[in-house]
Amino acid sequence: MSESISQTTNETIFTKIINKEIPADILYEDELALAFSDINPQAPIHFLVIPKKPITTINAIQEEDKALVGHLYWVAAKLAEKHGFAKDGYRAVMNCNENGGQTVYHIHLHVLAGKAMGWPPYQDKLKTL
Ligand code: 5GP
């Protein structure tokens, strides 16, 4: 699909996962959201929670999407409980645009768990504010 059509339809690789056109390790699904393991995990447990509605970035979240975005956190918490890492803790983070490190333009909550996370999240050479 060309970039212009992709931008018009908001279609990304995640649309293909939602439509089951490409495989994914799906952990949870309901009418609003889907959770699946990240293909390139950055922690012992790393999955993504996405809305089925293709919203490009945090900046594109509309008033009517507020409950939907909250739902993504609810799904993350349910899965944390189910997979036994709720008490130990985890990170649930959404990257936005280039400086946020976003590469797929369909919002997604990264859920990272299984070890203590570092903070701050940026590299040493970028530490100067
Ligand atoms: P971002 O960089 O946009 O915050 O995160 C995108 C995430 O999507 C990355 O962690 C990347 O590994 C993951 N990802 C990209 N393509 C695929 C895919 O085809 N399948 C799965 N399961 N994850 C993907």
Quote the number of domains for the chain: 1
Say what the pLDDT of residue 7 is: 44
Per-residue model confidence as pLDDT tens digits over 37-80: 999 999 999 999 999 999 999 999 999 999 999 999 999 999 99
Question: E strands along 23-115, which residues?
Answer: 26-29, 33-37, 45-51, 90-93, 109-113
Q: Does the Cβ of 99 fall within 6 Å of ligand 1? A: no
CATH of the domain at 21: 3.30.428.10
Find the domain containing 119 and state its range: 3-126
Q: Is the pLDDT of residue 5 over 80?
A: no
- Is the bond leading into 120 cis (omega within 30 degrees of zero)? yes
Best of 13, 29, 72, 97 to mutate for ligand 1, by most ligand atoms within 8 A of CB? 13
Specify whether 83 is catalytic: no
**Distance from C-alpha of 69 to C-alpha of 100, rounded to nearest angstrom:** 18
pTM: 0.91
